[in-house]
Chains A and B, each alone.
Chain A
Amino acid sequence: MDMKEKIEKEIVRMKELITDCESVMEEVPKHLRASQELVLESYKRQLAALEQELLELERAQLQNRKFNI
């Protein structure tokens, strides 16, 4: 699997995980919610970092193509 495909697949999985976590957040008892929200924020940071990696990879690939032309 190439890097782009790998990152895209992971982004899709992370988005599903985040959506799933958000949907069950209301069922989490109040005294545990803070720590669960901490985890959710970590996941969102990780998703943002992966999206940034994907953007940079696509930019690099585009530049390579221009260079090869």
Chain B
Amino acid sequence: MSHITIRHYRANGIFIENSSGNRILNNKIKNVINNGIEVSSSSANLFWRNEIYKCFDGIRMILGSTNNWVIENTAEECFDDGFESFLAPDINNAFIGNKSIRNRSNGFDIYGSNNLILDNLLIENGLGIVINEGSNSLAIGNIIRGTKQGTYFVFNGYNNHFSAENYIVCNRREGMYNASQFGILLDNEVLYNADSGIILDSTSRGNLVMDNKLICNIPENIDDRGTNNNLINNIDKPCQPCESPSDVCGYCVDEKDSVSDSSKEGDC
């Protein structure tokens, strides 16, 4: 299914149920009340270069949808999440090269195991990447900027999350918040975030935090509240004199968080 424009529907833009091997390419979906693309109990489908604008979720995997490829799509100004893997049974999905822009809730809300989040761009979402319920998911090479409420959460109980070469800059809350166990944070750049660079929660345990570059996150670059986490060879640079995230990033750190009130951005 390709090159179709779908607008102003009360349901989903495209709905795939109990089906596999479909190719959904180059469609434009705007202003639908439910999700732009919903994939229910379906596997091995390809979603490539679709543009989704002002829906509930952009692209959602639900009820045991596995092994789907979600590549180079754009989800913008959705009411909830840009891209979502809904529950623990939604596993082995790949989200590659997508853009998630100004969605109200999560840029990527990824539940389940062994999902791949690779080379995506997340700009000005309510929250950035959320990893929960399962194990072994990977987030590599993503750019996360301008998130309003929370940037990158890995929840307690999640094992073996691999996070590498992500570029996390100018977000209004902490760069990375890890409450999980036995994960790896490797070679990430975490710069100019308010409310700390990397926070390892009190439940975090046995994580390897290595070769990350942390610059001018306030108040601290790394805050380890957990147990048996290994912090090795991280570059930890404070702000230069008279330098702060708000100066570099062009927003006010002191103003109250407001998810939808874009008129206050940059208004110090």
Residues of chain A having any CB pair with chain B under 8 Å: 1, 3, 6-7, 10, 17, 20-21, 24, 39, 42-43, 45-46, 49-50, 53
Contact = CB atoms under 8 A, between A and B. Distances in A.
Nearest to A24: B10
Given A17-B33, A42-B17, A46-B40, A7 B11 contact: no
A1 to B, nearest CB: 8
Contacts of B34: 17
A43 B11 contact: yes
Given A39-B11, A42-B17, 13 more contacts: A3-B87, A6-B86, A6-B87, A17-B11, A21-B10, A21-B11, A42-B40, A43-B11, A45-B17, A46-B17, A46-B40, A46-B62, A50-B63
| B interface SS class | loop
Contacts of A7: 87
Contact of A49 (B63, B88, B111): B63
A53 B87 contact: yes
Interface of B: 10-11, 15, 17, 33-34, 40-41, 62-63, 86-88, 111, 132-133
B7 to A, nearest CB: 16
A3 B88 contact: yes
A25 to B, nearest CB: 11
Q: Which 9 A-B pairs have the closest CB atoms?
A: A39-B11, A49-B63, A3-B133, A42-B17, A46-B40, A3-B87, A17-B34, A21-B10, A42-B15
A50 B38 CA distance: 15
A2 B79 CA distance: 20
Nearest to B130: A1
B85 to A, nearest CB: 12
A46 B10 contact: no
A3 B62 CA distance: 13
A50 B132 CA distance: 18
Contacts of B86: 6, 10
A2 B170 CA distance: 28
Nearest to B87: A3
Nearest to B106: A1
B15 A39 contact: yes
B228 to A, nearest CB: 24
B38 to A, nearest CB: 9
